[in-house]
Structure 1
Amino acid sequence: MSSHSLSTFSNMDVDVAIIGAGPSGAIAASLLHQQGKRVVVLEKQHFPRFSIGESLLPCAMQFIEQAGMLDAVEKAGFQFKNGAAFRYQNNYTTFDFTDKFTPGPGTTFQVQRGEFDKILADTAAKQGVEIHYGHTVDHIDLTHEPVISVSTEDAQQYQINAKFILDASGFGRVLPRLLDLEIPSNLPPRSAIFTHIEDNISDSTFDRNKILISVHPQHKDIWYWLIPFSNNRCSIGVVAEPHLLARLQGTLEQQLMTIVNEEPGLNRLLSDAKVVQECATLKGYSANVSTLATDKFALLGNAGEFLDPVFSSGVTIAMQSASMAAATLLKQLDGQHVNWQEEYAAPLMKGVNTFRTYVQAWYDGRFQDVIFYQQANPAIKQMICSILAGYAWDTNNPFVAESERRLNTVVALCQDNDPV
């Protein structure tokens, strides 16, 4: 059902070829298939496969529902999530995503991405979407209508003639590489080290329904994620500029545990933790492109731009882009003229740039001053909570509409009254 039943592949004609079966690819495929378009999804790997981006945002639930996948996700037994907690030294604060400015879901899940991504892809396949695993895109010809050269694991080669290509390849960034679209990110290069642990947390005050973001006690631009799962496990990771990690010695696991133990709260919480997965690292992950879309292709999620993992925006941006691109593409496939810059790229970047404001302000310390401010104005906290919950496209929210100006106003108030 979800992979080709024949032993040989012949050339095929489709409306849309999608590169990648992750969240953006699966959701875009489902939305297009619902409207009667012939879609094929090409996935280089086999599912389940490990990925980070495990703490979903409530905003993403809308797109899961739109794609008819909500029931499958809710039945999977993932860890319920209703907010985010932040700790720096003796400061601890929480954001309840149900107490937010923007309408929409206020809860979501924390997920092992291997299982989560497979559920989305399998649901798309059950809906009738054609997905080929172990198939690699080797070449793209955009001279006329897109022609895609594909190879299989057993060295077969075939071509797909498509009316349009959606690149949902994530960090694989297939089209940016093949079409030379990559440009440097305006964010400094950072590295992440991460793993899964059997956490054995005995502290009854620890809230498993929230991601915990901890800040290093001496270096405010080093931070940690702790994402509880429903099976007594957590995802743990640290993010910093490479020079701040260079002092760490030993294996990746030793490096990660050394720096985790430098944060007293995590050291205490994880005193009985056991690493259950090989540690991994991701370096220089921030990326950007010169073109997000034309009348022949569009880039979804991380294939276009990846900012930073700090507010778990990656999967939400991926799903938002899938929904927006599918709606725009349906118009084009139905014969309407589409301006991809005005109808897809610019609206998508409005939310991405909102997240960028808060990512940059997190690392320079301004947003941390706001998050840890003890006398928060409830209405302002609700507006910021909406962004943390993923609603970065809601221009009714002043902190979206004028993100930099509004943030700086609040930063000045916090710093004047209660410097952290």
Structure 2
Amino acid sequence: MSSTLFGVPEEFDVIVIGGGPAGSTTAGLLAERGHRVLVLDRERFPRYHVGESLIPAFMRPMKELGLTERMDARGFERKYGGTLVWGNAQVPWNFSFIEGTTHEYAYHTRRADMDSLILDRARELGAFIIEEATVKEPIETEGRVTGVRFTLRGTDGMHEARAKLVIDASGQARLLSRKYADVTWHEELRNVAVWTYFDNCERLPGDEYTNILIEGLDEGWFWAIPIDKGTISVGYVTRSEEANKDGKSLEDLFKDEMAKSTKLKKMLEGANQSAGWRTARDWSYTSQSFTGNGWVCVGDSAAFVDPLFSTGVALATLAGSTLSKIVDKIIQHPEIEEQALKRYVTAYRGFFDEIRTFVERFYDRTKYKEFYHSLAQEMVDPDRERTPSANFVQLISGLSGKHPMLTLTIDDLIDEGAEPAAEQS
């Protein structure tokens, strides 16, 4: 590596590509366990990212990182549940996290602030963080990924770093998974979103004050996320083919559909648009391989699902927490790598597919809330140990408690009496 990167070694236990929530959670927890970790991100934090609403599953890895009290100290707004205008006859209904989980709240937050908080914590725990670093390609040695080559903004030439394992947390850029694996697109969720931000908004009344609003219409749905006292993020999601009808721009489509809304329209009566328009499309996919020789994916580089229930960040950080435990054992016992990562992939895919399947079926807006509650029970509690409404809350909170993703262990893969690799050297 170039000598201009003062104080940064060339050899690491783990290189993490991407400093977003998945990458920084994984890196921070590995560094806390004493491993030498390098994080490379092409941006300079804080940087913009959509996805301001979080769910209770997110609180588990944040507790591990020691960040829960800091989120309150930073003034992030607590989120206690949601309000939906969804289903047959568009009747409004609510849910509260306390009904189905041990975490009664999550947060709404500006992602630039939240993501910086997690990345700074990884740095504080001992990870080497290099921002404005663009990974160009993996380094391969005898068919195994053993490092990466990257450029650094403002410098000439290519830099190299090597590691025992490389983690792709590069989000939808999918820097390694794109090279080594194809993706499966989820046709039922081929959607387009257009969003912006509003100031001077009216909030939902009473106990709904901090709720996320999800309002369904005939051809799509809106989110409204309260970021602070007077600002909300508002987005419209519809099928890709609907977005192309009649030659309308996405901005005009947003305005026309917003005029048909009920609760959202009331919230925006006295508001003013305070930002430009942003769009995204066709975002629901699963990588056909989450891991390969010397590399493994976490977060959006592995899979991403429609944002209906704000599961993206929680799934990414939960996976990062689980992966950090797996990689910790792999570094100590390299012989278990293949089987350990196979278990991680199986649990991760299963967890993701459970959420994706529920979202796909929830998109049928011809039903009543009791149907959606029963659907959740069918998926996560077939023995009916809890009420259907509690199962619904548990599932959309990302905490369907018996799932292997939340309880994964690999200690049985380690031979009894085997010494960690560091002690054997």
For normalisation by structure 1, the TM-score amounts to 0.85
Correspondent of 2:324 among 323, 326, 337: 326
Identical positions, percent: 22
Distance 1:8 1:367, change over 3 A: farther
| Counterpart AA for 2:363 | Y
CA distance in 1, matches of 2:246, 2:229: 30
Distance 1:248 1:54, change over 3 A: farther
| Counterpart AA for 1:164 | L
1:337 equivalent in structure 2: 336
1:380 aligns with 2:388: yes
Preserved CA contact (<8 Å) 1:328 1:343:
no
1:309 equivalent in structure 2: 307
Distance 1:95 1:9, change over 3 A: same
Structure 2 residue ranges without an equivalent (≥5): 378-383, 405-425
Superposition pairs of residues 141-152 of structure 1, within 5 angstroms: 141-142=139-140, 143-152=143-152
Distance 1:373 1:337, change over 3 A: closer
Distance 1:48 1:248, change over 3 A: farther
Deviating more after overlay: 255-264 vs 277-286: 255-264
CA distance in 2, matches of 1:304, 1:160: 23
1:124 equivalent in structure 2: 122
Secondary structure at the aligned position of 1:174 is classed as coil
What value does the CA root-mean-square deviation take over the aligned residues? Answer: 2.7
CA distance in 1, matches of 2:199, 2:302: 34
2:180 equivalent in structure 1: 179
Preserved CA contact (<8 Å) 2:202 2:266:
no
Task: After TM superposition, give the deviation of residue 238 of structure 1 in Å.
Answer: 0.9
CA distance in 2, matches of 1:393, 1:202: 32
Superposition pairs of residues 138-287 of structure 1, within 5 angstroms: 138-142=136-140, 143-154=143-154, 155-201=156-202, 204-205=205-206, 207-216=208-217, 218-219=218-219, 222-247=220-245, 252-287=250-285
Task: After TM superposition, give the deviation of residue 353 of structure 1 in Å.
Answer: 1.3
Task: After TM superposition, give the deviation of residue 53 of structure 1 in Å.
Answer: 1.7
For normalisation by structure 2, the TM-score amounts to 0.84
CA distance in 1, matches of 2:186, 2:42: 25
Task: After TM superposition, give the deviation of residue 303 of structure 1 in Å.
Answer: 0.7
Distance 1:187 1:329, change over 3 A: farther
Distance 1:146 1:5, change over 3 A: closer
Superposition pairs of residues 53-64 of structure 1, within 5 angstroms: 53-64=51-62
CA distance in 2, matches of 1:299, 1:168: 6
CA distance in 2, matches of 1:316, 1:341: 20
Preserved CA contact (<8 Å) 2:95 2:393:
yes
CA distance in 1, matches of 2:348, 2:57: 14
CA distance in 2, matches of 1:262, 1:253: 15
| Counterpart AA for 2:287 | V
| Counterpart AA for 1:207 | E
Task: After TM superposition, give the deviation of residue 328 of structure 1 in Å.
Answer: 0.9
Residues 181-216 of structure 1, C-alpha deviations (whole Å, 9 max, x = no match)? 334335441101111111421664582321111001
Preserved CA contact (<8 Å) 2:97 2:105:
yes
1:107 equivalent in structure 2: 105
Q: Which has the higher helix share?
A: 2
CA distance in 2, matches of 1:14, 1:368: 53
2:354 equivalent in structure 1: 354
Task: After TM superposition, give the deviation of residue 27 of structure 1 in Å.
Answer: 0.8
Structure 1 residue ranges without an equivalent (≥5): 397-420
Aligned residues: 387
| Counterpart AA for 2:364 | D
1:94 aligns with 2:94: yes
2:380 equivalent in structure 1: none
Secondary structure at the aligned position of 1:117 is classed as helix
CA distance in 1, matches of 2:45, 2:266: 35
Task: After TM superposition, give the deviation of residue 264 of structure 1 in Å.
Answer: 2.5
CA distance in 1, matches of 2:246, 2:260: 12
Deviating more after overlay: 318-327 vs 180-189: 180-189
Preserved CA contact (<8 Å) 1:11 1:158:
no
Preserved CA contact (<8 Å) 1:298 1:325:
no
| Counterpart AA for 1:95 | F
1:39 equivalent in structure 2: 37
Residues 127-158 of structure 1, C-alpha deviations (whole Å, 9 max, x = no match)? 22211111011011332451211111123311
CA distance in 2, matches of 1:257, 1:206: 28
CA distance in 1, matches of 2:210, 2:305: 25
Task: After TM superposition, give the deviation of residue 84 of structure 1 in Å.
Answer: 1.4
Residues 3-45 of structure 1, C-alpha deviations (whole Å, 9 max, x = no match)? x995679871111000111111111011100111000000011
Secondary structure at the aligned position of 2:323 is classed as helix
Distance 1:373 1:295, change over 3 A: closer
Task: After TM superposition, give the deviation of residue 342 of structure 1 in Å.
Answer: 3.7
